[in-house]
């Protein structure tokens, strides 16, 4: 790993969202490709964060700082990746269930999936998923999944996120 990729990875691990934009731009100016920055700088950093979080060595506030750092860099890389026409691994429709307190988990999942090459369709917070009797496919959510999914050859994943026990009960009953 080059020095600049190692530095970017370290910035992700440390949650340095202030300086990462300058370092991302510097790497691009040095001739590194956006996909190389993503795959060999950002993702190794977030992979390390995931391992440390799972081991109990990092906590949610630290993970959020790391995710913000990744998001800042992705804001620069996303248009370049799109311009190059790099194929996505699939599409993910994600939203936070109406009645939940926050969207931290949704945002983390979305950023990690985007970094892994998926196109994210974010339905936002407080989404009324239109709970119906149809198992696994709440009507409103499923309808949203059909919007903008012209390429039927790509896999589509549906993710509804909640952190509240009362909402979990509602999700299970759908």
Sites in the chain below the pLDDT cut of 50: 131-137, 150, 164, 166-174
Under 8 Å between Cβ of 100 and 167: yes
Q: What confidence score (pLDDT) does residue 139 get?
A: 54
Q: pTM for the complete prediction? A: 0.70
Distance in angstroms (rounded) separating the CA atoms of residues 103 and 113: 15
SS3 (DSSP) at 157: strand
Beta-ladder partners of 127: 97
The Cα angle at residue 79 between residues 62 and 63, in degrees rounded to 5: 5
Distance in angstroms (rounded) separating the CA atoms of residues 115 and 50: 13
DSSP-assigned letter for residue 149: -
Q: What confidence score (pLDDT) does residue 126 get?
A: 62
Q: Phi/psi at 121 (nearest 5 deg)? A: -110, 105
Q: What confidence score (pLDDT) does residue 96 get?
A: 73
């Amino acid at each position: 790993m080059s020095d600049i990729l190692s530095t970017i990875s370290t910035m992700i691990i440390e949650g340095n969202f202030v300086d990462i934009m300058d370092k991302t731009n510097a790497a691009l100016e040095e001739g590194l490709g956006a996909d190389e920055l993503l795959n060999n700088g950002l993702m190794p950093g977030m992979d390390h964060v995931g391992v440390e979080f799972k081991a109990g060595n990092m906590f949610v506030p630290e993970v959020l700082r790391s995710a913000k750092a990744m998001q800042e860099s992705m804001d620069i890389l996303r248009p370049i990746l799109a311009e190059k026409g790099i194929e996505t691994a699939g599409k993910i429709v994600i939203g936070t269930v109406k009645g939940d307190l926050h969207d931290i988990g949704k945002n983390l999942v979305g950023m990690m999936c985007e970094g892994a090459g998926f196109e994210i369709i974010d339905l936002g917070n407080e989404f009324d998923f239109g709970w119906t009797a149809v198992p696994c496919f709440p009507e409103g959510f499923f309808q949203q999944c059909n919007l903008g999914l012209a390429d039927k050859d790509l896999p589509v994943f549906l993710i509804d996120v909640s952190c509240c026990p009362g909402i979990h009960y509602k999700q299970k009953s759908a």
